[in-house]
Structure formats: structure tokens, C-alpha cells
Amino acid sequence: MAVLPAGSRTVVLEKHDGGIKNMSGLTHIDENGNAVMVDIAEKEVTLRTARASGLISMSGEAFKQIWDGNTVRSAKGDVLAAARIAGIMATKKTPELIPLCHSLLLTGTAVEFCIMPKEHSIKCECSVKLHGRTGAEMEALTGVSVALLTIYDMCKAVDKDMEISRIRLEEKEGGANGHFIRGGSV
């Protein structure tokens, strides 16, 4: 067994009859500890879906100025409409932001919001669908992140102390790893 430094991370490699194997389980690290794009040429084309969520919380005062009980508003316009478009655009731009992501031909993207007045929060959920050789988890996570950042941008004049949190994969389906649902696989 050999241990090679790869930036600030240690990659554990083990010799096998067929050569050296990356024992870390990280698919984007090769046998030399280098970052690589995963080769998906031999994978089956299947229907793949991913759903991610996240939350933005703010002060009660800011929330009252942004949410009037019926609509979300700010000096810059319709907050959720802008955030929805930004989230959708982000799913399509993910490989430009995350260096080792594959370019995917998405067949559907949805960004939805849940207003949580008692918590002074807005929950965002992004769902992505495609027929392809790799999953769309990164696209769903990127969509949620950018949608929430857009809310922050549009509301920062009212509250710079807003907090974006709990960005996570909720569900993924398709491919060799099967169906994942947060809290347990199906």
C-alpha cells in the first residue's frame, strides 16, 4: 500500500494484480492521486432524476419587509421569479462552475419555493431530469445554491445577516447506484 499526497488530501492506493487501485472510493481521483473526469462512455443511458433542497433564513423584520403575506417583493422586483430563473439557468451551467462535471442534456428542471413565515425562512427545492450516462445531483445542488444566492442578492439591502443552510441532495434515481432518498435508500 502507498500513500501519495494530492493537494491537501491524502489518497490511499493499493497494488493489485491489475495495477494500482484508488482505495479512497473517490471516483474523480486516479491511481496517481490526480483529479480526473470520470469516463462514462460504457455506462447505460437511463432516465436519471435528482432533487436537492436548501434554506435561506433572515430576521423577522427583514422577512416582514420582503413577505407581505401574499407576495415576495423587494426593491429589485419579484424575488422568487428571479431566483427561479437563476436556479434553472444554473443547472444548465453546472459544468462551467464545477470543473469535473460532465455536460448534460437536461430534459427538465423545476425550482420551487416554500415560504415559512414562522421561521422567517424560504425553502428552495430544485429537481432535474435527463436521459443520460451520469446523474444530475450536481445540477440540482447548483440550482438550489444559485436560487438561494439570488434571494440573498435581491434582499441584502434589508438584511445582510441572512443565512443560507441545509443545501443537500434529497433524492436521486437512475444509474448503477439505484434509488437514493435522504434517510435511506429505496
pLDDT digits (tens, 9 = 90+) for 65-113: 777 776 666 666 788 999 999 999 999 999 999 988 999 999 999 999 9
The structure's pTM equals 0.81
d(CA 51, CA 68): 29
d(CA 82, CA 91): 15
**Domains of the chain: which residue ranges?**
1-36, 46-177
pLDDT digits (tens, 9 = 90+) for 14-33: 554 444 455 557 776 777 77
**Cβ-based neighbour number of residue 42 at 10 Å:** 6
Contact by Cβ (8 Å): 126, 94: no
CATH architecture of 46-177: 2-Layer Sandwich (3.30)
Both ends of the chain: CA-CA distance in Å? 35
Helix (H) or strand (E) run with residue 147 in it: helix 137-155
What residues are annotated to the active site? 153
